[in-house]
Chains A and B, each alone.
Chain A
Amino acid sequence: MKSHTIKLNVNEEVHHVTVRSADTLLFAIRAKLGLTGSKPGCLNGDCGACTVNVNGWPMKSCLMLAVEAAGKKITTVEGLVDTPIQKAFVENFAFQCGYCTPGFIMNCHSLIQQHPEADDSTIKEWLESNICRCTGYAEIEKAIKSVLRKE
């Protein structure tokens, strides 16, 4: 079957979508569901702009086929409401142009869930997955640390 009708559980809602086997999760959530918060960047797994959460872990949605995501719990930036990391990004001015922001926020959100006591080396290891062309890294670091250290 070159196309499939699958159930995608996105932001606590189940959607029935018809996708090509060759469609990425990024394409499905943007073009089929209209959730454009996840940004297309390199489309090659390098930049992290398209990061979503799959079963609580950060996932570059350009590196996952939509059919692979069937039955998994997907959260996009639209599914976060008043989370501490969103507030911390605003308070620490952790964005400039904003294009990388949803990906960074989703990665940070997973890190906070998976390793609430993350040390500096863990923070660095996780956040190396995302690129900010405006180089706002210092502010992003302050934002994630403010949540993890509960400042």
Chain B
Amino acid sequence: MLPFDFDYYKPSTLKEALDLYQYLNEQGSQPMFISGGTELITLGRIDLVYTEAVIDLKEIAECKVMELDGEYLVLGSTLTLTEIEEANPFPLLSQTVSEIADHSARVKITLGGNICAQIFYREAVLPFLLADSQVVIVNPEGVKVSAINNIFNEQLQLNRGEFLVQVATERRYLDAPFVSIKRRQQWNTGYPLITIAALKIDNFIRVAVSGLCPFPFRSEKMEASLNRQGVAAEERVQGALSDLPGPILNDVEGSSEYRIFVLKNLLHDILKELEGVRGG
């Protein structure tokens, strides 16, 4: 139960959703697209989200797609994390999303909702950053397709009135060797300390991190350090740690020093796991 009222719309086509947004925006209703809608409820109840009009994208066919179309796996933005986990078309993605929130919540949380979330972990984006995926976005001018690594900068760079429809990933990344590890402050439940995903392609290890900074990221500088030839693992990891973006989170889940300590060990774990494996 939320402490403010809003209009609720459930369009069945992309055009209807876009038109509704434009109309409601002109009316001054501060419209908001939702998919799983969990953040509307959890943040709305503590006054961190406010809207007078909700546009629920769940019934739009293009947003519910899950198919291997030629050389691409296409995943709709309103697929729930459980649907992805159960079908398992992209094992790195399945493993990464299987650590988000908890199982029952994942029946509600969606792929697009997590990627576009206000909560800064947004771990579902990590596999797509590693796989150079393409995102399909619609706006009143039409459909645009962008490389996720160009359009995801701390968060998905959406203009007002645009929304994410699909994410497409090349087939060759789907079965590439990978590691996905989530470390929490303690035990297996609670908010993440650090989540790291790694993938080996063309014998090159790629890494993407969530929970270190107030945004998820993939760093080419870190990857260059980790993949240096003829250099001991310790030195490569130190090199990667010297090239971190900032700021480093320093909160109740863990101090910045502790997060870097955890990251250092995770990078060693990844090198151990993936170095002996032929990738791509």
A interface residues with partner B (beta carbon < 8 Å)? 1-2, 4, 20-24, 26-27, 43-45, 48, 51, 54, 57-60, 62-65, 67-68, 107, 125-126, 128-130
Contacts and interface: CB of A to CB of B under 8 A. Distances in A.
Interface in B1-52: 1-8, 10, 37-38, 40-42, 44-45
A45 B105 contact: yes
B103 A126 contact: yes
Contact of A4 (B8, B82, B98, B102): B8
Interface extent on B, as a size class? Answer: 20 to 34
B82 A2 contact: no
Interface string B208-246: 000000000000000000000000000000000000000
Contacts of B108: 45, 59-60, 63-64
A21 B107 contact: no
A19 to B, nearest CB: 10
Nearest to A62: B41
Given A58-B104, A63-B105, A2 B42 contact: no
Q: For A24, A48, A129, A130, which residue has the most chain B Cβ atoms within 10 angstroms?
A: A129
Contacts of B107: 54, 57-59
B68 to A, nearest CB: 24
B56 A22 contact: no
A interface SS class = mixed
Contacts of A65: 8, 37, 40-41
Given A57-B82, A60-B105, A64-B108, A22 B42 contact: no
A8 to B, nearest CB: 15
B79 to A, nearest CB: 14
9 contacts: A2-B6, A21-B8, A45-B101, A57-B82, A58-B103, A63-B38, A63-B105, A125-B103, A129-B105
Contacts, number: 83
B188 interface: yes
A128 B105 contact: no
B97 interface: no
A129 B103 contact: yes
A45 B45 contact: no
B103 A22 contact: no
Given A21-B6, A27-B1, A64-B108, A128 B102 contact: yes
Contacts of B250: none
Contacts of A43: 1, 45
Contacts of A129: 102-105
B118 interface: no
Contact of B1 (A1, A23, A125): A23
B4 to A, nearest CB: 7
The 6 closest A-B pairs by CB, nearest first: A129-B104, A21-B8, A22-B2, A129-B102, A2-B5, A58-B104
Interface string B49-83: 00000101010000000000000000000000010
